Amino acid sequence: MYKLDEILKSINQEYSIQNESVAKPIKYVKPLDEADEHSLIWIKSSKDDAVNIIKQTKAKTIICSKKVDIGSIHSDDKCFILVDNPRLAFHNVLKSLFSEKLDYSIHPTAIIHPKAKISENVSIGANSVIGDCTVEAKTVIEDNVKVFDGVKIGKNVKIEPGVVLGAEGGGYIKNSKGEYERIVHLGGVMIQNDVEIGANTTIDRATLGNTVIGSGTKIGNLVQIAHNVKIGERCLVISLSTIAGSSKIGDDVYLGPSVTISNGLNIGNLAYIALGSVVTVDVPDGGKVLGKNLTTNQKKNIKEAKISKNKSDIESRVKKIFKSTFPLEQNFSADSSPQNTQGWDSLGNLNFIVAIEEEFSTELPFEFQSGNVRVKDILNYLSNNEN
């Protein structure tokens, strides 16, 4: 059992506590409907019925959000640990006190290539086959994993059962007889530090160079990652997803369950690809793809995301030209127009239009030469027609 002070030390974030004296020693972590007085539970911050849950639970020690109105509960027989992020606090307790302590070892049935470089404190499970590769410290390779030659696995990596790393990808070419021949794959796979790879996932080796999984990326079960793919850092690739050959995934990208990424695409940093989406065009930084297939409307949304990303840069450059052309004008906004500025004349207006055309390597519509054109008309035109 764990005492309250042990729980509090494991939370690893700021907290306040109420009714500390009634806390019971903690023996279990259980679901809400199974908890007893020796169980630790947590309540989601978003739970509208948090107060009712607290009243009904048998648990005596509860981690919950500081936003919960504890005063309305009138429950002096429960101890409340109030934090900003209850889920993270509960996770930290589980990791510190309840998770299984790892005993690094190599199972006697594992087959390891004599030239393989295996660091100390590595665990390799039953029936796993490890080729001529590198495995760094604190990495866990579970049962029935196949690692081909030329794979590099970083530190603190977790590889679940059934994973295959470094098999040849599906690259074929037709010979002079019109028959398919497999393209020779001479590359490898590079798994960087703190990566997790779910059960029965396959990551193919590159034709040349490396297929790369960036540091901190977590990959679910039954994922297919083809040859020459490069995935950035801290990505989440959820189960049943497929990433076709030579695609590049940026940092902090989310790929939902059963997502398909077509070959040779670029998915920008912080992109969000929702469940079941089929992506056939590049996605910009921060772009979102929603739905089973990438429709014309979604392609429009991606274009608009690119426009949104570039608009601030375009506006900054237009503003600079505007201020340079009309130095007497103190105000600048989307509704500004040359004719309404101090010091306006037709020559100044023409200079303004020409300067913009030179800056953006474009030709503005003839009607924009009128002094009545507004800045926002120019911004919209440049955003929608930028190369």
Let me know: does 235 contact 217? Beta carbons within 8 Å: yes
CA distance 352 to 344: 11
Answer yes or no: 185 catalytic.
Answer: no
CA distance 156 to 138: 5
CA distance 37 to 64: 16
Q: Which residue has the tokens 């760094």?
A: 136
CA distance 154 to 239: 22
CA distance 363 to 78: 71
Residue 323 is which amino acid? Answer: K
> Which of 38, 91, 185, 227 is labelled catalytic?
227
Q: Which two tokens stand for residue 214?
A: 């960036």
Q: Quote the distance between the C-alpha of residue 204 and its chain's center.
A: 21
CA distance 87 to 44: 7
Q: Which two tokens stand for residue 100?
A: 């299984």
CA distance 271 to 268: 6
Q: Give φ, ψ of 117 to 5 degrees.
A: -105, 100
Active site positions, annotated: 227
